[in-house]
A and B are shown apart, each in its own frame.
Chain A
Amino acid sequence: MSWDEQIRARLAELRSKVFHLQVSGGLWNSLSVICALVLTASLAELAFHFQPAVRLALMMALLLLLLATAGFWIVYPILRHWIRPKTDQELALAWGYSLSRINDRLLNALQVFENRTQDRTSPELSELALRQVAEELSHETFTGVLDVGSVKRARGQALFVVGIWALSLLISQGSALSAFSRILQPGRDFKPLADFTLALAETPGLIIRGEPFDIIISGQGRLPESVGLHIEEIGADPVDHTVKFDPNGKASFRLENPQNDLRLYAHSADVVSNQASIRVKSRPYLKNLEARWFPPAYSKLPTGVSAEKRGDVSALKGSRVRITVQADRRLKEAVLRITLDENPQNPTDQPMELDGDEATAELLLLKSGHYNLLIKDNDNISNAAPVDYSLWPIQDEWPTINILYPPPEAELNESLLIPIKAGARDDFAISRIRLGYQLVKGGGASGDSSSGGHFSWKVMAFSDLGEGTALVDQLWDLNELNLLPGDLILYKLEAQDNDQVSGPKTAETPVQRLRFPTMEEIFARVEEHYGNQEDDITEALDRAVNMKKELEELRTELKKNPDLTWEEKKKVEELLKKQEETTKQVEDLAKRTDELIQKMQENQLLSPETMEKYQQLQKMLSEVMTPELAKAMKKLQEALKQQNPEDLRQSLEQFALNQEEFQQKMEKALNILKQLKQEMKLDELTKRAEQLLEKQQEINSKLDQQKKPGPNPEGAQAEKDLQKEMADFEKEFQDAKEMMADSPQNPEQEMKAAEQIMQENQFQPNMGQMSQDMQQGDSQQAQQKGSKLESGLKELSQTMKKAKESMVNTGKQQLTEELRKISHDLLSLSFEQEALMDTSSGLDQASPRFRTLAQEQQTLKNHLEETAKNLYELSQKSYFITPQIGSAFDQAMRGMDQALMGYTARSPQSVTGQQQTAMGGMNRAIMEIGQSLDQISSSSSSTGFSEMMEQLAQMSKQQAGLNQGTQNLIPMPGGTNPGQLSMQQQAGMSRMAAEQEALRQELESWYKANQEASKLMGRLGELGEEMKAAAEDLKNQQVDQRTLQRQERILRRLLDAQKSVREQEYKKERLSRTAEGPYSKPSPDPINLGLTPDEMRENLLKALKEGYSRDYQQLIRDYFEALSREQ
């Protein structure tokens, strides 16, 4: 760029700046003038409130002034700039003069340069001149040449005027502006301003429907006393209210129940306030509410839902509660406010999840309290008075558990197995049941033990019966505890529920007691029971005797006067009642006897023979109320009601007969009980002797194994205890001896032998001595004594057994002899009767022999009565005198009676016929007696019953051992390496599998051998399958609770089987029926008889050589030939 161009560019820049400065200054000045004019005009209008014409003139003048101002200050400079802008020379001169060292040099240089051609100035010189000036100006600004100060001043003036204008507007509160507005509207007629103004205080754009709203009116100036408030509500007629001002110039009005959108203003005369429009909107509300709760999974409860539009929640603690609401509109915000009872001052807000008009929140129900639902719509209007809904967590109840069996105080028997039955209950489910037990050796010092000690625990299997009920039905095997008679077990059950929210809760039963009684205790109890039995039967007998007496009196009375008086009828009723009571009493006794039998059997206290008798006694007692007696009683009752003398008489007779039978039964029971007492005593002594021997053997065995020489206080004490037991035995022995002294079955010889053994062996002193020897450490001496004692006790034990056998055999022998004698007597009578019959058969009706023969018949009858009496006496001692024998006697007796009547009637035919009947009766009695004799001979222990029971008991014991072994092998949860078995355990399991299988085979054999008993025991056969499955589990080493439960079932059934067999032994009924179906089967193959044709031929020849006749030889030949053909 040349110097000239540089200079001219700068001058153009200067020109532009000068122009802008002029225009901006013009604008400021114009603004100042315009504002001043408007302000002046407004103030004038405000002050004078001009007429429209004046306002028009004013407006025109104002307009002209505004135009002039704008033309002068703005338009002119612009036009000038566009039409004739400042030349470079003018600008160069002005700029040069603004710089003292330049002055006009710039102008000159420009002129020289421009005129260089005309002036013929050297171009170099002109350019040099220009260059010099340009170089000097290159660093210069336009500050000096631009009049910036005048612009600033104009701006200051303008701002000042605008400030004044704004201030006036402010001061006049809009009046100035209103005045200006009036100037601008010259054609409009504005009324003159009132003395006051009215204004509505700022109103909200939105108010709540139905809720009161205060409208405030403020006034200024000389206010009237009241103003009108105009309210227009959509859908309603406009209403004007008069509102009074307060001294502060405020007037308020409460709109009580706005319903629709409003428009309102205040007014007074011509003064009208500003208008306000207000929207009216109702509060949001909940259209629907649902509380749905999801109980904890462990409870298995179904999902719950609150009632419609009811949000109260009452659910299991730990439930998850989902609350869903639906509002009447779209929501902007929803909050679940939860207030817990334990902290009512500090509710917690939980935002709800929004979806349009719906909101949802969830909470975990753990504590009680209530909740509210706070909602806001898009206008931030909240719901009114949120309702309180309750939150009520239902507590998972504590479980309960009750032991159903055994009772709180129970006793163990020799098997040391006891069924535990218990019921546990929870509102949801039982998760575990444990058995806690504690062994108190010797039953505790005082015999009473607290449960303060340490309990061992054992998890019990149980059946879940649903609805939170669990049933324990398990057999507890206490064999592993090595109990001794006298030991006590304290035990309890603990049930645990499945609460997974608050943690499992447990309940315990009270501590119960199981005693392992000593034999002495059991015997003492048996004796006590025996005493009670005797008393009860005696009492029943006494009552029966009295009743009989009263019945006799009644019958006599009835004979005199067939119509009974009221008192007599009462007496009959009383008699019936007494009979009923007595029968009931005896039946109760039978029940108690049954319990006693069971206990004795469990402890194997009695011999099978005695047990059988006891059971027969029990059976007889339980069957005292025969159908005949019941029928007779019923008939008598009916006869009393109907008041028919004949019926009454017959019924009374019938009842008397049955009552007599009852009395006889009681007499028989008493006799048998007395007999039983002796047998039981002998059983007791036998058992005691056995135990003495066993204990002595045990002491001796321990003594032999004693390694260190020296005192043996333990053994000494055991021997001392044994010495005491021996003393008891000897005392019992003496009692038994005295008791049996007068008994016809007294095994006197054996008892004497036993006594002699006791004298010879001097058991007590020797036991004492042995105890001392052991105490002093003299083992050798003690061993010698022990050996001798053992030998003596063995002898004593065997002798006692013999005594028992002797007693039983003597009894049987006596009975057999007496029965045989009766049988013999009957046979003689039968012969005599036959002879008499033969004699009588040919008699003529007029024969004088009738009288003599009748006397003979009477004699026979007397003899028969004598024999019947003997039989009756015998029947009081034995069960072998069957009713069939009695019935046969009855037949014979009736026959003889009728025969006597036949003699009186001189009717030989009738006589012989009846004599035939009598003979038939006697013969039948003989036959029945024969059968009874057969039964007596077979009624020893060889009935197989005891053997069968023994086998079952043995199998039960083996199964109990297996069950225990299995339980020990089941991996316990939380144990080390659960689910993994050590090598030793695996071996143990294999061994047990083999044992289980062996037991199964044994059961099968037993089952086959005792098919009848097996059938009576119902499902015992299924045991084989159960055993097989248990053996498989063990073999496959897949043992779990199911295996254990299976084994428990097996054991239970085996034990039940023993009971069933015992109960059924006395009511055997063969289960068989006539064959009906087709049973044909093809013939088996011919048999190889082991005879070759040669052998047959040899036999034939041998037979033929025996010298038979020809015919017979032919027959023999034919026989062998036939035989040969069969071959």
Chain B
Amino acid sequence: MRSSWYNIVWLVGILLGTALSLQAQPLAGGDVFTIGRIKYSGGGDWYCDPSSLPNMLKYLHEQTGIPTAEREAPVEPRDPGIFSFPYLYMTGHGRITFSDEDAANLRRHLTSGGFLHVDDCYGLDEHFRREIKKVFPDAELQEIPYSHPIYHSFFEFPNGPPKIHEHDGKPAQGFGIFYQGQLVVYYSYQTDLGDGWEDPEVHHDPEEKRIAALKMGVNVIMYALRRYESATTVQK
């Protein structure tokens, strides 16, 4: 009962917010929503899982009706254009390096309505944990309780993030950084959502795994859009 109420509140809020924001400020990519893929330095494969984000965008459109672009847009953290992306996505397997300029720009965006989703595609953990400190030196990554709205924003995930791929046999976890009580960075660890978003023939995952990953993606994006809408509306 409680979760249904939550869903209604969120859905209405998001739809309303989206409609308002489309009037107030166009989303990156013109009139359609797209994902900003963080193109970081350091050598890690920021571009990995190439079919994941187009699929995610398509699924988002199918499930929510939000108009979406076909592809994501790569964006460097230092790029001022980053502010056009309410939802930033970052993934990879290896090294990440944020310059001071990168960190400052990201922080500016994340503290003014932006949202960063970091998806560990295995091998990213240590680098990300180190580099995010440059962005939020005082904040700690905290594991997000399953009652948090991010797990209920559109679809229900009562047991937290779904486990899509396994590498080390660990359970899936969702961590976050909160700024002024708001979740601004969501870090999906040991879940490998991105792999689940890819074309079925890439990893040959069962359909239910892929759908679970995509649903979780919808939740994160919806949460981010909500936050973006809320922040930009408040600023207005």
Q: Contact between A1074 and B147 (Cβ–Cβ < 8 Å)?
A: no
Residue from A934, A944, A1112 within 8 A of B74 (CB atoms): A934
Query: Is B29's beta carbon under 8 Å from chain A?
Result: no
Residue from A1070, A1074, A1102 within 8 A of B122 (CB atoms): A1070
Query: Is B234's beta carbon under 8 Å from chain A?
Result: yes
Query: Is B12's beta carbon under 8 Å from chain A?
Result: yes
Q: Contact between B145 and A1083 (Cβ–Cβ < 8 Å)?
A: yes
Give min CB distance, B75 to chain A, whole Å: 12
Stretch of B41-49, B82-90, B104-112, B214-222 on the interface side = B41-49
Q: Report how far A470 CA is from B164 CA in the complex, Å.
A: 51
CB contacts (< 8 Å) of A1077 on chain B: these are: 166, 169
CB contacts (< 8 Å) of B147 on chain A: these are: 1083, 1086, 1126
Give min CB distance, B21 to chain A, whole Å: 13
Q: Contact between B123 and A1079 (Cβ–Cβ < 8 Å)?
A: no
Q: Report how far A947 CA is from B95 CA in the complex, Å.
A: 10
CB contacts (< 8 Å) of B16 on chain A: these are: 1112, 1115
Q: Contact between A944 and B163 (Cβ–Cβ < 8 Å)?
A: no
Residue from A1075, A1103, A1112 within 8 A of B164 (CB atoms): A1075
Q: Contact between A1115 and B9 (Cβ–Cβ < 8 Å)?
A: yes
Give min CB distance, A819 to chain B, whole Å: 16
Give min CB distance, A1085 to chain B, whole Å: 7
Q: Contact between B94 and A944 (Cβ–Cβ < 8 Å)?
A: yes
Binary contact readout B4-15 vs A (1 if CB under 8 angstroms, 0 otherwise): 001001001100
Q: Contact between A942 and B42 (Cβ–Cβ < 8 Å)?
A: yes
Query: Is B171's beta carbon under 8 Å from chain A?
Result: yes
CB contacts (< 8 Å) of B45 on chain A: these are: 938
Query: Is B195's beta carbon under 8 Å from chain A?
Result: yes
Return the chain B residue nearest A1007 by Cβ.
B126
CB contacts (< 8 Å) of B160 on chain A: these are: 1081, 1083
Q: Contact between B171 and A1008 (Cβ–Cβ < 8 Å)?
A: no
Return the chain B residue nearest A1085 by Cβ.
B145
Given contacts A1009-B127, A1010-B94, A1085-B145, contact A1091 B181 (CB under 8 A): yes
Taking CB atoms and an 8 Å cut-off, the chain B residues in 10-36 that contact chain A are 12-13, 16
Give min CB distance, B208 to chain A, whole Å: 10
Query: Is A559's beta carbon under 8 Å from chain B?
Result: no
Given contacts A1072-B165, A1122-B9, contact A944 B178 (CB under 8 A): no
Binary contact readout B102-126 vs A (1 if CB under 8 angstroms, 0 otherwise): 0000000000000000000111011
Query: Is B133's beta carbon under 8 Å from chain A?
Result: no
CB contacts (< 8 Å) of B206 on chain A: these are: 1074
CB contacts (< 8 Å) of B69 on chain A: these are: none
CB contacts (< 8 Å) of A930 on chain B: these are: 71
Binary contact readout A1045-1088 vs B (1 if CB under 8 angstroms, 0 otherwise): 00000000000000000000000001111111101110111110
CB contacts (< 8 Å) of B159 on chain A: these are: 1080, 1083
Give min CB distance, A861 to chain B, whole Å: 26
Q: Report how far A1096 CA is from B182 CA in the complex, Å.
A: 11
Q: Contact between A1090 and B178 (Cβ–Cβ < 8 Å)?
A: yes
Q: Report how far A1070 CA is from B126 CA in the complex, Å.
A: 18
CB contacts (< 8 Å) of A1071 on chain B: these are: 167
Query: Is A1089's beta carbon under 8 Å from chain B?
Result: yes
Query: Is A1123's beta carbon under 8 Å from chain B?
Result: yes
Most A-side CB within 10 Å, residue of B13, B148, B181, B234: B181
Give min CB distance, A747 to chain B, whole Å: 23
Q: Contact between B195 and A1072 (Cβ–Cβ < 8 Å)?
A: yes
Query: Is B205's beta carbon under 8 Å from chain A?
Result: yes
Taking CB atoms and an 8 Å cut-off, the chain A residues in 989-1044 that contact chain B are 1008-1012
Return the chain A residue nearest B127 by Cβ.
A1009
Q: Contact between A1075 and B9 (Cβ–Cβ < 8 Å)?
A: no
CB contacts (< 8 Å) of B176 on chain A: these are: 1087
Q: Contact between A1095 and B167 (Cβ–Cβ < 8 Å)?
A: no
CB contacts (< 8 Å) of A1112 on chain B: these are: 16
Q: Report how far A1081 CA is from B13 CA in the complex, Å.
A: 31
Q: Contact between A1086 and B145 (Cβ–Cβ < 8 Å)?
A: yes
CB contacts (< 8 Å) of B71 on chain A: these are: 927, 930
Q: Contact between A1012 and B142 (Cβ–Cβ < 8 Å)?
A: no
Give min CB distance, A616 to chain B, whole Å: 17
Q: Contact between A1076 and B180 (Cβ–Cβ < 8 Å)?
A: no
Query: Is A733's beta carbon under 8 Å from chain B?
Result: no
Q: Report how far A934 CA is from B74 CA in the complex, Å.
A: 9
Q: Contact between A1011 and B149 (Cβ–Cβ < 8 Å)?
A: no
Residue from A1083, A1089, A1103 within 8 A of B178 (CB atoms): A1089
Give min CB distance, B188 to chain A, whole Å: 13
Size range of the chain B interface in the assembly: 35 or more
CB contacts (< 8 Å) of B74 on chain A: these are: 934
Most B-side CB within 10 Å, residue of A1008, A1010, A1089: A1089
CB contacts (< 8 Å) of B64 on chain A: these are: none
CB contacts (< 8 Å) of B180 on chain A: these are: 1090-1091
CB contacts (< 8 Å) of B145 on chain A: these are: 1083-1087
Q: Contact between B94 and A1074 (Cβ–Cβ < 8 Å)?
A: no
Residue from A943, A1115, A1122 within 8 A of B12 (CB atoms): A1115
Q: Report how far A1091 CA is from B192 CA in the complex, Å.
A: 31
Given contacts A1074-B203, A1087-B142, contact A944 B171 (CB under 8 A): no
Q: Contact between A1087 and B144 (Cβ–Cβ < 8 Å)?
A: yes
Query: Is A1106's beta carbon under 8 Å from chain B?
Result: yes
CB contacts (< 8 Å) of B13 on chain A: these are: 1115, 1119
CB contacts (< 8 Å) of B172 on chain A: these are: 1075, 1079
Q: Report how far A1103 CA is from B182 CA in the complex, Å.
A: 15
Give min CB distance, B94 to chain A, whole Å: 6
Q: Report how far A1073 CA is from B164 CA in the complex, Å.
A: 9
Return the chain A residue nearest B9 by Cβ.
A1118
Return the chain A residue nearest B176 by Cβ.
A1087
Q: Report how far A332 CA is from B44 CA in the complex, Å.
A: 96
CB contacts (< 8 Å) of A1087 on chain B: these are: 142, 144-145, 148, 176, 178
Query: Is A476's beta carbon under 8 Å from chain B?
Result: no
Query: Is B143's beta carbon under 8 Å from chain A?
Result: yes
Query: Is B155's beta carbon under 8 Å from chain A?
Result: no
Query: Is A935's beta carbon under 8 Å from chain B?
Result: yes
Binary contact readout B195-215 vs A (1 if CB under 8 angstroms, 0 otherwise): 100000001111001000000
Residue from B46, B126, B144, B171 within 8 A of A1080 (CB atoms): B171
Give min CB distance, B93 to chain A, whole Å: 5
Give min CB distance, A1087 to chain B, whole Å: 5
Given contacts A942-B43, A943-B43, A1085-B145, contact A1012 B234 (CB under 8 A): no
Residue from A931, A945, A1011, A1089 within 8 A of B123 (CB atoms): A1011
CB contacts (< 8 Å) of B93 on chain A: these are: 1011-1012, 1070
Q: Report how far A1086 CA is from B125 CA in the complex, Å.
A: 23
Binary contact readout A916-946 vs B (1 if CB under 8 angstroms, 0 otherwise): 0000000000010011001101100011110
Q: Contact between B122 and A1011 (Cβ–Cβ < 8 Å)?
A: yes
CB contacts (< 8 Å) of A948 on chain B: these are: 43, 95
Give min CB distance, A1124 to chain B, whole Å: 10
Q: Contact between B166 and A1076 (Cβ–Cβ < 8 Å)?
A: yes
Residue from B125, B127, B181, B195 within 8 A of A1123 (CB atoms): B181
Give min CB distance, A1098 to chain B, whole Å: 11
Return the chain B residue nearest A1121 by Cβ.
B9
CB contacts (< 8 Å) of B44 on chain A: these are: 944
Query: Is B146's beta carbon under 8 Å from chain A?
Result: yes
CB contacts (< 8 Å) of A1012 on chain B: these are: 93-94, 122-123
- Give 15 pairs: A residue, B residue, CB < 8 Å, sorted on A: A930-B71, A944-B43, A944-B95, A1010-B94, A1011-B123, A1012-B94, A1072-B167, A1072-B203, A1080-B159, A1087-B145, A1089-B182, A1090-B178, A1090-B181, A1106-B233, A1106-B236
Q: Contact residues of A with B, CB < 8 Å?
A: 927, 930-931, 934-935, 937-938, 942-945, 947-948, 1008-1012, 1070-1077, 1079-1081, 1083-1087, 1089-1091, 1095-1096, 1102-1103, 1106, 1108, 1112, 1115, 1118-1119, 1122-1123, 1126
- For the complex of A and B, 6 pairs with smallest distance between CB atoms: A944-B43, A1091-B181, A1083-B146, A1084-B143, A1089-B181, A1079-B163
Please give 5 more A-B residue pairs, beta carbons under 8 A apart, in addition to A934-B74, A947-B95, A1077-B166: A1072-B165, A1074-B164, A1081-B173, A1083-B146, A1083-B160
